[in-house]
Amino acid sequence: MAAQSPSPDGLEGVVAAHTVLSEVDGQAGRLIIRGCSLDDLAGRTSFEALTGLLFDGFFPDLPEDLTPALGQARAEVFAQVAHLDADLATRTPVEAVRALMARLEDGDDLATALRLVAAPAVFTPAVVRVQAGQTPLAPDPEAGHAADILHMLHGAPARPEEVAGLDTYLVTVSDHGLNASTFAARVVASTRAGLTSAALAGLSALKGPLHGGAPGPVIEMLDEIGAPQNARAWIEAALARKERLMGFGHRIYRVRDPRADALKGPVRALAAATGGGRVAFAEAVEAAALDILKAHKPDRPLDTNVEFYTALLLEALAFPPSAFTCVFAMGRVAGWMAHAREQIAGGRLIRPQSVYVGPVPRQAA
Ligand code: CMC
């Protein structure tokens, strides 16, 4: 049997790319996107401007303002919604969105990238509406991206604080170093398969509960807890069953995830309309969880991650929890596209090695 080297479990600590796109500082709890701190971007920059920032230098002829081109891309991809048949509508939203996205042509130019950025934004409201027995609504290419998503979802203009909340969310989750979905997108891009293939790889990796699938279960947890006085007993029982608390812990952050704080303001602004009771309850659950996790894992700091406040924000915007991962994809797809182009521009085929630890044929032993 071959000598075993230590297993690079989960590739923790392995540097697999150099990037100008974003940096996650897990000790300081800081996220930098293209030279700007998340604190300076969230709530101050539109998703269209942020996408332009991420794309800068990676696409020739990038227009100064991506708003009209992204609006046009939303209108173009809406044609695919005709293929949302009864069978597809029975799937989870992320599976249905992925199937519609797979219908888009592969390519590596700006038009392809914008169609992919538009895809989850247009397909998610359509899938949610069809699953609720409603007719999908066409996008308005003249509208802002966040406002148009909410209009396609609800069939009525959204309030300014709702548009601002979704815009802040999309910016906040747009890029985050070499997370699992971005790495998956870069691996596929490194083979020169095309941006659609890279986006599909990213979406498939995002779907898992350890990555972008966590916020739906956060709502399930809050609903099961029901009232602040039940929080401690519920959490202790979950940990005793060796379950993980969704919305807590992170591979990189050893302190609070700065994205959780970026979302707190919009969450509170939206909650004000309904008296703020849900947020107060969630904060009580969060405080109990942090206290118990500290005692449960004294050597491993486990703090609140982005998904906890994502769940509250998307719930306040009336997205069904089953579609939360698709909303995450609406933001993260901008990062996938920029990383894919960065990989194509400067990177080689990603092809690591494995150490064989299985049996060998007798004559070679
Ligand atoms: N609840 C309870 N215990 C936990 C949690 C948690 N949320 N997170 C980690 N632990 C424990 C884990 O069980 C392990 O204990 P042991 O050593 O006894 O087996 C220890 O802490 C170390 O965990 P790990 O699996 O080595 O940590 P990781 O870096 O591989 O995992 C994580 C990071 C995000 C997958 C994990 O913290 C987790 O599963 N969190 C819950 C799911 C979640 O909220 N995911 C969203 C992440 S933020 C969005 C994004 O950026 O993708």
**Of the listed 286, 307, 315, 342, which one is catalytic?**
307
Out of 316, 338, 355, a domain closes at 316
Same domain, 294 and 340: no
Same domain, 72 and 183: yes
pLDDT of residue 2: 42
Same domain, 52 and 179: yes
Same domain, 163 and 117: yes
Helices 110-131 and 67-77, axial angle in degrees (round to 10): 50
Q: Place 5 in a pLDDT band, splitting at 50, 70 and 90.
A: low
Residue 1 lies in a domain: no
Residue 35 lies in a domain: yes
Same domain, 202 and 236: no
Residue 351 lies in a domain: no
- Whether 211 is a known active-site residue: answer no
Domain holding 277: CATH number? 1.10.230.10
pLDDT of residue 362: 87
Please give all residues whose beta carbon lies within 6 A of any atom in ligand 1, as ranges: 10, 176, 179, 210-212, 214, 244-251, 297, 300, 302, 305-307
Same domain, 92 and 109: yes
Q: Which atom of ligand 1 is nearest to the CA of 176?
A: 51
- Boundaries of domain holding 245: 215-316
Residue environment code for 116-152, b if the CB has 16+ CB neighbours within 10 A, otherwise e: bbbbbbbbbbbbbbbbeeeebbebebebbbbbbbbbb
Residue 61 lies in a domain: yes
Same domain, 219 and 96: no
Q: Per residue in 55-103, pLDDT tens?
A: 999 999 899 999 999 999 999 999 999 999 999 999 999 999 999 999 9
Give distance in angstroms: CA of 131 to centre of ligand 1: 32
Give distance in angstroms: CA of 129 to centre of ligand 1: 33
Share of the chain above pLDDT 70, in %: 97
Same domain, 98 and 176: yes
Residue 276 lies in a domain: yes
Cβ atoms of residues 185 and 198 within 8 Å? yes
Number of domains in the chain: 2
Same domain, 79 and 65: yes
Which residues, at least 6 apart from 300, have a Cβ–Cβ distance to it below 8 Å? none
Q: Per residue in 189-228, pLDDT tens?
A: 999 999 999 999 999 999 998 999 888 899 999 999 999 9
Same domain, 189 and 220: no
Same domain, 88 and 163: yes
Q: What average pLDDT score do residues 338-354 get?
A: 94
Residue 361 lies in a domain: no
Residue whose CA is at the smallest distance from ligand 1 atom 27 = 251
pLDDT of residue 174: 98
Residue 4 lies in a domain: no
Same domain, 96 and 128: yes
Asked whether residue 363 carries a pLDDT value surpassing 90, the answer given is no
Question: Which mutation among 176, 236, 248, 308 tests ligand 1's pocket best, with the greatest number of atoms within 8 A of CB?
Answer: 248
Question: Which mutation among 207, 244, 257 tests ligand 1's pocket best, with the greatest number of atoms within 8 A of CB?
Answer: 244
Q: What average pLDDT score do residues 244-270 get?
A: 93
Q: Per residue in 306-332, pLDDT tens?
A: 999 999 999 999 999 999 999 999 999
How far apart are alpha carbons 44 and 46 in whole angstroms?
7
How far apart are alpha carbons 249 and 292 in whole angstroms?
13
To 5 degrees, how large is the angle CA 209–CA 215–CA 218? 100
pLDDT of residue 7: 60
Per the model's pLDDT, the better-predicted residue between 122 and 12 turns out to be 122
Residue 353 lies in a domain: no
Domain holding 151: CATH number? 1.10.580.10
- Whether 76 is a known active-site residue: answer no
